[in-house]
Amino acid sequence: MAGPIPPYALFVLADGVDADYLSDALTRAYKGNYEAAWEQYVVTGSYDDAPKKLENAYPEGTKPPVDANFQSPFIGKTPEECVLWLQNAPEDVALNHESFFFIDQFSKEDDTMQICRAENDPKTGKLEVEYYPVSTEDATLEMATALGVKFDENMQRYQRNRIRDGKPDRSKGVPYSRI
């Protein structure tokens, strides 16, 4: 695998994202990854529900259908608060602590998920959270190749395309700032 190790947390930060939408988004991300694995876990807020580490295997994430009563405890939270939740996870939780997804207030309209990277800045030592949106069906495959400079290249390409097209930039981060 060329990118971050799955499974990846999928946080829902926006109101109005229901179980049907999540089930559809998970299915499209799975199909966009050539149906290789269910690599996204819809975060419920409880570490007890999170995938646990396995011997010589990657655990799967959430398989649709998502529970019809699902309510995200992260509505209104920031990506930085999501990182804190990941960092506080017990040792047996298999979620990647540096790479994750979130659905924000623009995701439904734009048909995207935000791909997110959290790392300590080598210059300041401060935790930095960077992200950019990717199409829902490309999300899992994009994450699988989003390690290091590739993340920066993809984010820069996204930012340049938004400027060129006169559309709002929904990313956060400065490409190549860690090099």
Q: Report the SS3 class of residue 164.
A: helix
**Pick from 20-29, 66-75, 97-106, 121-130: least confident:** 121-130
Mean pLDDT of the chain: 92
Average pLDDT over residues 134-145: 92
Distance separating alpha carbons of residues 105 and 89, to the nearest angstrom: 26
Greatest pairwise CA separation for the chain in angstroms: 48
How confident is the model at residue 6, as a pLDDT? Answer: 85
Give, as one character, the DSSP assignment of residue 103: E
Q: Tell me how crowded residue 88 is: count the other CB atoms within 10 A of its CB.
A: 10
Average pLDDT over residues 125-131: 93
How confident is the model at residue 1, as a pLDDT? Answer: 44
Q: Report the SS3 class of residue 79.
A: helix
> pLDDT of 76-115, one tens digit each?
999 999 999 999 999 999 999 999 999 999 999 999 999 9
Cα–Cα separations (whole angstroms), residue 165 to 14, 151, 158, 162, 174: 25, 21, 11, 5, 19
